A = this chain, B = another copy of it.
Amino acid sequence: MRNTSVEIAGVKFKNPVMTASGTFGSGMEYSDFVDLNKLGAVVTKGVANVPWEGNPVPRVTEVYGGMLNAIGLQNPGVEVFAERDLRFLDKYDTRVIVNVCGKSVEDYLEVVERLGDEKRVDMLEINVSCPNVKEGAIAFGQNKDALFDITKRIKEKAKQPIIMKLSPNVTSISEMAKAAEAAGADAISLINTITGMKIDIHKRKFALANKTGGLSGPAIKPVAVRMVYEAAHAVNIPIIGMGGIANGSDAIEFIMAGATAVAVGAMNFHDPYATEKVVEEIESYMERYDVSDINSLRGIVE
Please give, as numbers and ranges, the residues of chain B lying within 8 Å of A220 by CB-CB distance: 219
A-to-B contact residues, CB < 8 Å: 63-66, 68, 142, 169-172, 194-199, 201, 204-206, 211-213, 215, 218-223, 225-226, 229, 244, 249, 252-253, 256-257, 285, 300-301
Once the chains bind, are A66 and B199 in contact (CB under 8 Å)? no
Across the interface, A65 reaches (CB within 8 A) one of B142, B199, B218, namely: B218
Please give, as numbers and ranges, the residues of chain B lying within 8 Å of A204 by CB-CB distance: 256, 300-301
Once the chains bind, are B64 and A221 in contact (CB under 8 Å)? yes
Once the chains bind, are B226 and A212 in contact (CB under 8 Å)? yes
A179 to chain B minimum Cβ distance, whole angstroms, is 13
Find the residue from A170, A171, A213, A249 having the highest chain B CB count within 10 A: A171
Please give, as numbers and ranges, the residues of chain B lying within 8 Å of A64 by CB-CB distance: 65, 218-219, 221, 244
Closest to A201 in B: B252
Closest to A251 in B: B201
Once the chains bind, are B197 and A222 in contact (CB under 8 Å)? yes
Once the chains bind, are B199 and A253 in contact (CB under 8 Å)? yes
Across the interface, A201 reaches (CB within 8 A) one of B142, B201, B253, namely: B253
Across the interface, A223 reaches (CB within 8 A) one of B170, B196, B201, B205, namely: B196
A249 to chain B minimum Cβ distance, whole angstroms, is 6
Please give, as numbers and ranges, the residues of chain B lying within 8 Å of A229 by CB-CB distance: 197, 211
Closest to A252 in B: B201
Please measure, in the bound complex, the distance between the C-alpha atom of A142 and the C-alpha atom of B301, giving whole angstroms: 27
Once the chains bind, are B301 and A199 in contact (CB under 8 Å)? yes
Known pairs A199-B301, A201-B256; list 19 more (Cβ under 8 Å): A63-B221, A64-B219, A65-B65, A65-B219, A66-B219, A142-B172, A195-B223, A195-B226, A196-B226, A198-B222, A201-B253, A201-B285, A204-B300, A213-B222, A215-B223, A218-B219, A219-B219, A219-B220, A219-B222
